[in-house]
Amino acid sequence: MKDESEPLDRSSAASPGVGGGSSPRGIKGFSASEASLLGLGTQMLSEVAAGILLGLAADYMLGTHNRWIVVGSIVGVAVAMWTVIRTTIRMSKRDAADRARRAAARDTAQSSKTSEGER
């Protein structure tokens, strides 16, 4: 039986078939992109839920029947879609910058090989 006082080795805790192993973000079982999408989905869910709850509260206070729930849910979905669009634009810019950086590094490496070959 294993001694309970020994620290657990968590480096091999994630199975290779689930999300690709360890993540740079520290979430076991998920890759960085999967963790990012999981966070985005959670944020979208909370924005829609907040809209519905605010609509429900407005309906209760104003004595209306399901009018503000509809408005709140539409606003929540609109905010969630804006979050997706904003995140997609940010990720596209980051990917373009990464591609440009890799291309510049590749061009620098090729030019240094060419200059060494001319000597």
pLDDT in tens, 101-119: 998 888 888 877 776 665 5
Range of the structural domain that residue 75 is part of = 41-102
Rounded to whole angstroms, the Cα distance separating 54 from 62 reads 12
What is 17-34 written as a DSSP string? TSTTS--TTS-TT--HHH
Domains in the chain, number: 1
Segment 30-68, tens digit of pLDDT:
777 777 888 889 999 999 999 999 999 999 999 998 899
State residue 92's pLDDT score: 87
Q: Is the pLDDT of residue 21 over 50?
A: no
110 in any annotated domain: no
Is the residue at 82 inside a domain? Answer: yes
Q: Look at residue 96 and tell me if it is in a domain.
A: yes
Task: With respect to residue 17, please indicate whether it lies within any of the assigned structural domains.
Answer: no
pLDDT at 60: 94
Q: Is residue 33 in a domain? A: no
Per-residue pLDDT, 94? 86
pTM for this predicted structure:
0.61
